[in-house]
Amino acid sequence: MAVRGLLLAFTSALAFAGAFDFVLSYDRPPARKSLFVRLSEDVDSTSPQQVHISLVGEDKMRISWITEDPTPATVNYGTSPGKYGFSASGSTSSYQYVMYQSGEIHDVVIGPLKPQTIYYYRCGSDSAPEFSFKTPPPQLPIRFAIAGDLGQTEWTSSTLEHISQSNYDVLLLPGDLSYADTNQPVWDSFGRLVQPLASQRPWMVTQGNHEIEKIPIIHSDTFTSYNGRWHMPFEDSGSDSNLYYSFDVAGVHVIMLGSYTDFGSSSAQYGWLKADLKKVDRKKTPWVVVLIHAPWYNSNTAHQGERESIDMKASMEDLLYGARVDVIFAGHVHAYERFTRVYKGQANNCGPVHITIGDGGNHEGLATKFLDPQPNISVFREASFGHGELEVVNATHAQWTWHRNDDDELVASDTVWLRNLTSDPACEV
Ligand SMILES: *[C@@H]1O[C@H](CO)[C@@H](O)[C@H](O)[C@H]1NC(C)=O
Ligand SMILES: *[C@@H]1O[C@H](CO)[C@@H](O)[C@H](O)[C@H]1NC(C)=O
Ligand SMILES: *[C@@H]1O[C@H](CO)[C@@H](O)[C@H](O)[C@H]1NC(C)=O
Ligand SMILES: [Fe+2]
């Protein structure tokens, strides 16, 4: 064992000499195969496919699924298997993308639901299989799983496997979902890949550059597939766009921002964010968490100097700092990095912690080169696939852990306790 460890350390050191100033003993795994999840044989043209759920308001859930042929947009549900005392109906839509015609995309909001309760549900026809989900707790503690830039490779499967073991309540995804990149059937594959998890717990997502899918002249609309398939509860937070919204869950106010839509000080998004932050009641939601796609702080050599990082930060950092946002999660860079509390490039005890968690497992591979030397505001950085967990324990304490997919085992590689900001009198606003 010792000899093997030494050998690994030695080969890693050789391979990455100069590029890394950390974890030389870690045997960095290579990229893994891309996946395409086919339709299983037992799924007929009206069977629900690609089932995923998302929170709507304090006590409702949106159930989204796709069928090949038209079926009623109806969900039957209840708290015991096979017994559906409740029923709700919604709407069906579809979209066209060049030669591709999507399936029937069904969208049904159910509730009111009891907190921390398992519900059993059936989508569409009476012969459809039963699914189940658990609603989040009514108050703290709550556990979030967080992973960005998922894509669809065997590393993605490994990440999802670890997330499924984590006993999380709500998943947060800071953009770049399917990596379909205009090839629409790949979105269907993604829906099938995530269904086992996303049908059981709410998946709350925001979009990345891979969701834009604009082709000049041929398909000039943006976010067609993303908006068609991943309807988030923007209407409930007074937003006019599926690209930015917020929601409250168990004492946490979560804000999803759009890095690839207007964010300047005269934009609709900016106006909405300002109003949303003003409405936050820290007694009800002592924690405020924000997700973006392109990180505002980043010491990887990948994605330096992009306007979605520099200009969006210049526009919105004051708002988030002034509102004492606790943590900002980003994706985009395919690596993990945690910063200390920062504001305007400097350590600041009243600023948010910035965390890049773009290491979900997509086919583009890892962003392995970091700037040298490591900036003093960057606390931990490593280019490995994995996911994060944020357990908000109570009004003053939350624990963040980053789990690397190391050798397929669930390993916590970075962990830190966070204190709520205004428990520090110096940060009172
Ligand atoms: C932080 O926790 C303290 C103690 O519970 C509470 O009084 C304060 O309102 C909290 N601050 C925020 C911003 O939630
Ligand atoms: C961190 O680095 C910046 C410049 O990169 C410098 O201005 C600042 O004083 C440093 N802070 C500490 C605590 O060393
Ligand atoms: C909040 O959780 C932390 C960490 O578990 C604990 O030390 C602290 O006493 C808790 N605070 C309250 C008010 O329960
Ligand atoms: Fe990205």
Report the catalytic residues: 303
Q: Is 373 touching ligand 2 by the criterion CB < 6 Å?
A: no
Assess whether pLDDT exceeds 70 at residue 20: no
Q: Taking residues 341-370, report their average pLDDT.
A: 96
Residue 177: per-residue pLDDT: 98
* Ligand 1 neighbours by CB, cut-off 6 Å: 282, 286, 324, 395-396, 420-423
- Position 420 scores a pLDDT of 86
Q: What is the pLDDT of residues 392-418, one digit of tens each?
A: 999 999 999 999 987 555 666 899 999
- Strand arrangement, sheet containing 49-56: 49-56, 60-67, 104-110, 91-93
Q: Which atom of ligand 3 is nearest to the CA of 399?
A: 4
The rounded distance, in Å, linking the Cα atoms of 352 and 302 is 22
What is the model's pLDDT at position 311?
98
Of the two residues 308 and 14, the one the predictor is more confident about is 308
Ligand in closest contact with the CA of 418? 3
Is the predicted pLDDT of residue 5 greater than 70, yes or no?
Answer: no
Q: Quick one: which of 91, 141, 149, 163 has its CA closest to 364?
A: 149
Mutation probe of ligand 2 site: the residue of 346, 348, 377 with most atoms within 8 A of C-beta: 346
The answer to whether residues 132 and 121 touch, using CB atoms and an 8 Å cutoff, is yes
Band (218; pLDDT cuts 50, 70, 90): very high
Q: Which of 88-97, 105-114, 250-259, 407-416 has the lowest mean pLDDT?
A: 407-416
Instruction: Report how far ligand 3's centroid is from the alpha carbon of 339 (Å).
Output: 24
57: left (phi over 0), alpha (psi -120 to 50) or beta: left
Domains in the chain, CATH or no CATH each:
1-30 (no CATH), 49-134 (2.60.40.380), 142-427 (3.60.21.10)
Cβ of 376 below 6 Å from ligand 2: yes
pTM over 0.85: yes
- Over the stretch 250-274, which tens digit does the pLDDT of each residue have? 999 999 999 999 999 999 999 999 9
pLDDT for the residue numbered 425? 80
Distance CA 322, CA 317 (A): 8
Structure-token pair, residue 392:
């908000």
For the chain, state the CA radius of gyration.
21
**Residue 190 backbone dihedrals phi, psi, to 5 degrees:** -60, -40
Query: What is the pLDDT, as a whole number, of residue 184?
Result: 98
Cis peptide before 352 (omega within 30 of 0): no
Residue 209 above 70 pLDDT? yes
Handedness of CA 335, 339, 342, 345 (dihedral sign): negative
Please, what is the Cα angle at 294 between 289 and 298, to 5 degrees?
90
pLDDT mean over 14-30: 43
pLDDT of residue 14: 31
Residue 28, pLDDT score = 58
| pLDDT band at residue 92 under the 50/70/90 scheme | very high
